[in-house]
Each structure stands twice: as C-alpha cells, then as structure tokens.
Amino acid sequence: MKKVVVLLVALTVVLSALVSPVMAAIEVSGDAYVGVFDKYLWRGFDLSSSEPVAQGGVDLSAGNFTLSYWTSVQLNSDDEDGLTAGEVTETDIVLDYSFDLGELVSVSVGDIYYMVEEDWLNTHELYLSLGLNTILEPNITVYYDWDECEEDGLFYTASIGHGFDLSDKLSLGLGALISYNQENDFNVGDYSDWHNLELSIGADYAVTDQITISPSVLYSEAMSDDAEDIAGIDDETVVGVTVTLAF
C-alpha cells in the first residue's frame, strides 16, 4: 500500500503542475480534519481491536465535484490481530458528484476506493444517495461493490438527523441510521438481512470562523441473527473528537 500512496502523491504533484493554469480559474474550497477515537468502527465492525486510532482527511470541492482523501492510523498495538502502533491500516479515496433536484431533493453519486493494509482487501464501491431537505433530513444510500464481490454486493442505509443551535458558536446534532446487507460478501457478509443500527450524538464548537472542534459518541448494535453470526458484529460504542479547518 505504501507504494500505491507514493505513486498517488507523485501523480498528484505532476497533475498539479500540469493543470495549475486551469485550476487558477476554478474556485476550490474544502477542509482538512483530524480526530482521535477510542476504536475504528465501520458498519458495526470493530476494525482496530478496540484500540484507539487517529483518523483524518482532506476534502476538495470544485463546483459539484468533491475529491476526498481519508486515512486511519492505529495508535496502540494488538499482537493477537497483528496491529502495530503507528501503522496506517486503511486509506480511502472518494470522488463525489452532488446536485439538487429543486429545493427538496439532494442527490450524490460517487465511488469509494478502499485501500487496506492487507492488499487483498482493497475494493471499490459505487454509491447513490438521495436526501430530502426537510425536517429530520431523511436519506437513503445504496452502495454497490463492483470490484471484488462475487454475489450481489449491495448495502443499503437509511438515516435521519436533526441539528440544534445552542448558541452562536455551539450546535448539537442527533442521528439514527439503519442498514441492510444484500449479499455484500466481500467486506460485510454473505447474507441478505438487516445489518446494524447506529445512534449518534455530536457537538460542533466554532473556535473561529475556520476552526471547529467536534466531540461525538456513536452506538451500534446488530439488527439480525445473520449480522451477529455471519458478520460477527457486536454491540459497540465509539467516542472521539475531531478538529476541522475549513478553507
């Protein structure tokens, strides 16, 4: 994976030099962020053996397109699962295109490339997300593993959320998500059934116009016997804090 990352960095530098005259005429915005969490929890899976991780990334947006880079670093070792402190265990690259259908409906479509330390776990997922710009902000997202899955390779999520402004600088957000797995056999499980439920609470404190501190808590539990027995997920809670710089 290190060779891939080096190649991507080199490619980025070359492309930046080639397209800099064009990019000068394009308005680019984004953010950079880093957080510390007591574990890495993804779709209900504990991927860091309940050891803390540092996670961070960069989002760059131009028009309706957003290019995102995200990575997770193991902070403590776990010899049983072969995890080493300081090891980059996963890096994701996401290309997203988002737009609105009128004032009510928001649409996002994109591709996620998962690069895991063990190369045989690398894969791509396409996704399509539909959201309503109304109370509780309901959202439905469909993921399709078009790369490594041998079965249907589909994963669905439905979520709601609501935010409260507690002051000029402080806001609170509540969220709930439920997921369904449809033979996403490569990175979730070879079954079709409800997967997990997630409940979350988080706060955003604006230190400045550009810097935000965001503590968060997320609880996840299995929603079916298949999720417990085949996927092997348990009830989990993850706590963390993230610092974001917008530019």
pLDDT tens column, 92-146:
999 999 999 999 999 999 999 999 986 667 999 999 999 999 999 999 999 999 9
Give the 3-state secondary structure of 148-202. CCCCCCEEEEEEEEEEEECCCCEEEEEEEEEEEEECCCCCCCCCEEEEEEEEEEE
Which three-class secondary structure state does DSSP give residue 26? coil
* Range of the structural domain that residue 236 is part of: 2-246
CATH of the domain at 173: 2.40.160.40
- Number of domains within the chain: 1
pLDDT at 33 over 60: yes
pLDDT at 241 over 70: yes
The structure's pTM equals: 0.87
